[in-house]
């Protein structure tokens, strides 16, 4: 019998501490965030064996560490850097727009931070503040069967006060190493410099990427697979509190199903279902149980449409 790798999914990128401001939140307070948190929680809820590679500062409290461990996330790849601050963002939502402010950031994740012994079915690369150099991606390519990427941190530019704007991806050749691409609509437009969403997705696909996913919030997601476009509906949640992390939950759940070679459209439906739970709470408070996610996924799957 072939020996399985120790992890189904490893997420690489900075954990963050977010302060989220919106009309739905009366008293904003720091909450755990960042792709490793949301991606891993969504995948773990579906039974995946998950781990992270990340760096935090010495301001990262033990309560966060204990909470992550209790959710079955392996933290052997998490490094706490003395004298550094954990990545901190202030996120302000107003009139369906999001304003990002970077308040602090620890050192980058370097090739030496990736254990040579690391083995994973799938690795998801998810920078949020340009903390992952291309050399890390090259090393991860050699250690993972499937390499997934969300380039949001590569298309962010920070001014002297930490205010975030989007810019074109400076190293798009990285995509030649990638099997699965996922980003928000505005980020793929920034990455490619193409406003037309379908043309932007086709450009990513032309870089030998097998699956291209673009999330569009309450308008669902678009998927490009084997030259065909599909529309993945969003589940209409009864409550809407906070969209932070919904896209990360989408790809975490998608990859948890993709690991088992499930139908790609089903994987995307599960991703959409998982993200619908996240928006019902503040930060990573709300994740559906496996049967709840599947219930919503079945309803979404029935309404997936192929686009001309």
Strand partners, 73: 50
- 273 neighbors 306 (Cβ within 8 angstroms): no
- The predicted pLDDT at position 5 comes to 59
- The whole-angstrom separation of Cα 253 and Cα 47 is 10
In a domain, 1, yes or no: no
- The predicted pLDDT at position 2 comes to 46
* pLDDT digits 0-9 by tens, 159-175: 999 999 999 998 888 99
Largest CA distance in the chain: 55
In a domain, 188, yes or no: yes
- CB 7: neighbour CB atoms within 10 A? 22
Residues in the chain, pLDDT under 50:
1-4
In a domain, 74, yes or no: yes
| CATH number of residue 26's parent domain | 3.40.1190.20
In a domain, 295, yes or no: yes
- The whole-angstrom separation of Cα 130 and Cα 94 is 25
Domain that holds residue 106: 7-307
In a domain, 228, yes or no: yes
- CB 173: neighbour CB atoms within 10 A? 10
In a domain, 176, yes or no: yes
- The predicted pLDDT at position 1 comes to 39
* pLDDT digits 0-9 by tens, 248-273: 999 999 999 999 999 999 999 999 99
In a domain, 2, yes or no: no
In a domain, 206, yes or no: yes
- The predicted pLDDT at position 308 comes to 79
- The whole-angstrom separation of Cα 84 and Cα 55 is 10
Q: Which pairs with CB-CB distance under 8 Å and at least 24 residues apart come from 255-258?
A: 255/9, 255/39, 255/43, 255/48, 255/122, 255/124, 255/146, 255/148, 255/180, 256/8, 256/9, 256/42, 256/43, 256/46, 256/47, 256/48, 257/46, 258/122, 258/146, 258/180
Q: How many domains does the chain have?
A: 1
Tell the burial category of 95 from Cβ atoms under 10 Å away from its Cβ (0-12, 13-18, 19+).
exposed
């Amino acid at each position: 019998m072939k020996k399985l790798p120790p992890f189904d999914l490893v997420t690489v990128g900075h954990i963050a501490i977010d302060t989220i401001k919106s009309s739905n939140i009366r008293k904003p307070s720091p909450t755990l965030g960042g792709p490793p948190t949301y991606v891993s929680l969504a995948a773990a809820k579906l039974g995946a064996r998950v781990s992270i590679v990340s760096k935090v500062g010495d301001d990262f409290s033990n309560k966060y560490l204990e909470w992550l461990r209790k959710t079955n996330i392996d933290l052997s790849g998490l490094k706490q850097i003395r004298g550094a601050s954990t990545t901190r963002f202030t996120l302000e939502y107003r009139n369906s727009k999001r304003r990002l402010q970077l308040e602090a950031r620890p050192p980058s994740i370097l090739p030496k931070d990736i254990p040579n012994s690391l083995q994973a079915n799938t690795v998801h690369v998810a920078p949020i503040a340009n903390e992952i150099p291309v050399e890390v991606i090259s090393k991860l390519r050699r250690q993972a069967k499937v390499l997934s990427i969300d380039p949001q941190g590569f298309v962010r530019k920070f001014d002297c006060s930490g205010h975030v704007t989007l810019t074109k991806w400076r190293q798009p050749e990285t995509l030649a190493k990638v099997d699965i691409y996922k980003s928000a609509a505005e980020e793929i437009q920034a990455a490619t410099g193409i406003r037309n969403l379908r043309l932007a997705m086709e450009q990513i696909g032309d870089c030998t990427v097998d699956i291209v996913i673009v999330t569009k919030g309450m308008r669902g997601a678009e998927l490009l697979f084997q030259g065909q476009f599909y529309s993945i509906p969003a589940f209409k949640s009864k409550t809407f509190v906070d969209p932070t992390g919904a896209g990360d939950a989408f790809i975490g759940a998608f990859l948890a199903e993709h690991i088992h070679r499930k139908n790609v459209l089903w994987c995307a439906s599960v991703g959409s279902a998982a993200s619908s739970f996240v928006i019902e709470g503040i930060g990573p408070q709300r994740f559906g149980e496996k049967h709840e996610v599947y219930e919503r996924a079945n309803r979404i799957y029935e309404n997936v449409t192929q686009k001309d």
